[in-house]
Structure 1
Amino acid sequence: MKGRIGFTLDGNLRIVSWGKAISELTGLSAKNVKGNFYYQVFPRLSVNGKKDLIQESLRETRPLKIKDYPIRCLSGMQRADLSIRPLKNKRVSVTINIKKRCKYEEELQSCKRLIDLGKDASALAHGVRTPLNSIKGAVVYLKNRYPEEKPLLEFMDIIEEEINKLDSFVSRFLTGSLSPGTESKTVDLNSLIKNLEPFLLIPAETKKLSLSYTYNKIPPVRVDPFHIEQALLNLLSNAVNAVPEKGKIKVQTFTQMRGQRRYAVVEISDNGPGLKHKPSDYTSLPREGNSHGFGLFLTREIVQFYRGSLEIESQRGKGTTVRVLLPEEKD
């Protein structure tokens, strides 16, 4: 816990009120602690384990402020600023300002958010199955209804192929066999990106965007094509959504050496407004109530699984450049 926590005691040092923040820190609700002596559920606030600071403040009816008071947490001792203030009716308010988040608490909170995300993802996967089957049925009907319409059939084939990929992904997810890398194979990223181009045609034409691709020679990589397709499509969709009408998006591939390793690089640049927050806020696990970042967070997780990296550079008012680096497949 980082920040202010507080509680209120009566003249006998029994708990009268117990805030939400301290409930989260101790794992004890207000209902369970009210009426208890505070030192039964929280470390006694004292000097050298002798003089109770709250009792002293009540006796002398004067507020106490102590800086850098040691507070124990899961990973050891943390420093906090204490404020003890006598109130009317022989009550006393205690505020503790913890300066640094407990290391293990951060890890526990991160795990909790991952569990919540997993639950949401499972519910989403179940919900996707029915509309997927409906779309697939509609595609089959349209192909049979308009067998002479070649442009339409081309798009129907693409839609059907992607539906089958997504259906396979959902099935593997729900059966617990979706470990990244189980479908890994040698992949040419240039060919993979070319397969994604049709998905951006309609949104690009709608906004009259300038969308350019530059394919250079790059080494092959070993990945699950579906995972990398989704990661790159997410980045491309973000760029399309970010740029204004008649904006510009450039996609290019190239080879880059990092240390002794060669990487295939996919770079996506746009002239949009730039990110509102620092890049790390978008690639870290989003906190509760924060809707942005899930796509980039998942993209980063996919890329890192294949020993790659995701790099983001952005300037407000000038645009954003995102690079995906994946290591060359070793023989």
Structure 2
Amino acid sequence: MQGRPYYEILPRIFRGDGDAVAGVIATGQPVSYEKYRFPCFFGEIEADVSIEPVASEEAGCPRARIRMDVFSECRAMNTLRQSRHLVDIGKTASILSHGVRNPLNAIKGAVVYLKNRYSSDANLLEFTDIMEDEIARLDKFISGFLSTSFLAFEQNRNDVNALLKKLDMFISLQAKAAGVSTLFTYGSVPPVRMNIFQIEHAILNILNNAIHALSEGGRVLVESRYERRNGKGFVIVEIADNGPGMPERSADEFAAPREDMALAEGKGFGLFIAREVLQHHGGSLDIQSTRDQGTRVILLLPVDEGAEG
């Protein structure tokens, strides 16, 4: 590369209307720039740049040393890195789906034993029935996941309130153990066409996040209602907590499984999965969070024309 202009390898560095490197070579004086902005195809890259002259014994070949400390990257590169991370998630999910079946069968056997052993306990039977139903749904989901795409799962009309009542019971022991109170309010809503397994676990992800974020004495409020927006009907499920709120980053960032967050905390997937599920159903997910006041997550599920009461 010797003898080639530096700007054939690196982005050109300007100082005013002139070339900064040529200026350093001409004057023999080093220069430095903080947060120098280099254009790229989809935005800009910022870097701290220092240029200093280098003595050269070769005539006609002036030299300079350029140092660049890049601390922001082009949006296209960030998108590419995020896409690669999503591919890795997909591979891991496939491996996990294969591996979870054996322990799932063991859990199913244990549930059947408990159900038969304590058949006189009505409360226990209610929970074991829920567990058997969830195991069957999960087994069916795994089979579908391994043989088809996310978009191919069947959808049927279901009662959102009935689903929420089941989840109320499902999380009751977890919330009680954490010292967290829950209150479910059921509005009058029409049935919604959905894949009930996906929607159930999207809502469950958000409920688990809320309970996990709260300290003892915290509160989770869940409400269902029907609204019309822009001429279309939606069943809305709103989940609000009075916890510490999310860290100061945008809801869009929290709704994507950022690699650094996942590696540091083992989190970041619940909201992403929930948003993907809602979008696949033609709905949306909105996150509103205030530091030290709590977080509100609003799920919108579209209602078929003719299903509205």
Q: Tell me the TM-score normalized by structure 2.
A: 0.81
| Aligned partner letter, 2:252 | S
Between the aligned partners of 2:296 and 2:11, the Cα distance in structure 1 is 53
Name the structure 2 match of 1:268.
Answer: 239
Counterparts of 2:5 and 2:102, CA distance in 1: 54
Q: Where in structure 1 are there 5+ consecutive unaligned residues?
A: 1-12, 15-35
| CA distances 1:215-246 after superposition (whole Å, capped 9, x unpaired) | 01112221100000000011111111122212
- Cα deviation for residue 136 of structure 1 reads 1.1
Look up the match of 2:132.
160
Aligned-partner Cα distance in 1 for 2:7–2:53: 22
Aligned to 2:96, the other structure's residue is in SS state: helix
Gap change, CA 1:120 and 1:38, over 3 Å in 2:
farther
Residue number in structure 1 paired with 2:177: 206
Q: 1:326: Cα distance to partner?
A: 0.9
Q: Which moved more, 1:65-74 or 1:285-294?
A: 65-74
Q: Deviations over 1:132-157 (max 9, x none)?
A: 11111211222333333333222222
- Superposition map of 1:13-162 within 5 A: 14=2, 39=6, 42-43=9-10, 45=12, 54=21, 57-58=24-25, 60-64=27-31, 73-75=40-42, 78=44, 83-86=49-52, 92-96=64-68, 101-162=73-134
Backbone CA RMSD of aligned residues: 3.3
1:185 Cα deviation from its structure 2 partner: 0.6
> 2:60 is matched with which residue?
none
Instruction: Name the counterpart of 2:195.
Output: 224
Preserved CA contact (<8 Å) 1:186 1:329: no
1:298 lines up with 2:273 in the alignment: yes
Seen in structure 2, the aligned counterparts of structure 1 residues 81 and 123 have a Cα distance that, compared at 3 Å, is closer
CA distance in 2, matches of 1:232, 1:133: 25
After superposition, the Cα gap between the structure-2 partners of 1:159 and 1:94, relative to the gap in structure 1 and judged at 3 Å, is: same
Does the CA-based 8 Å contact 1:270-1:320 persist in structure 2? yes
Mapped contact 1:65–1:81 kept (Cα < 8 A): no
- Structure 2 stretches of 5 or more lacking a match? 57-62
Instruction: Measure how far apart 1:186 and its partner are.
Output: 0.7
159 and 235 in structure 1: CA distance in 2 versus 1, 3 angstrom threshold: same
Match of 2:161 in 1: 190
| Equivalence for 1:244 | 215
Q: Counterparts of 1:253 and 1:66 in 2: how far apart (Å)?
A: 55
Distance 1:204 1:104, change over 3 A: closer
Q: 1:277 to 1:72 in 2, by over 3 A?
A: closer
User: Take 2:209 and 2:172, find their aligned partners in 1: how far apart are those partners?
Assistant: 15
Q: Percent identity?
A: 36
Q: Which of the residues 292, 295, 300 maps onto 1:325?
A: 300
Q: Which amino acid aligns with 1:230?
A: H
Q: Structure 1 residue 161: deviation in Å?
A: 1.1
Letter in 2 for 1:42: I
Task: Confirm or deny: 8 A CA contact 2:286 2:299 kept in the other structure.
Answer: yes
C-alpha deviation, 1:322, in angstroms: 1.2
Query: Matched residue of 1:147: which SS?
Result: coil
What does the per-residue CA deviation read over 1:255-278, in whole Å, with 9 as the maximum and x for residues that have no partner?
122111111111111111211233
> Which range moved further: 160-169 or 269-278?
269-278
SS in 2 for 1:246: coil
Segment drifting more, 299-308 vs 224-233: 299-308
Distance change in 2, residues 1:99/1:145 (3 Å) = closer
Residue 214 of structure 1: how far off its partner (Å): 0.9
Match for 1:139: what amino acid?
V
Aligned equivalents of 1:120 and 1:86: distance in 2?
A: 47
The one-character-per-residue Cα deviations of 1:56-99 (angstroms, maximum 9, x if unpaired) are 63464322457998956455x85767834226776743245779
Shift of 1:305: 1.2
CA distance in 1, matches of 2:34, 2:127: 67
SS at match of 2:295: strand
Change (3 A) 1:156 1:67: closer
Q: Secondary structure of the residue that 1:277 maps to in structure 2?
A: coil
More deviation, 246-255/283-292: 283-292
Contact 1:235-1:296 at 8 Å conserved across structures: yes
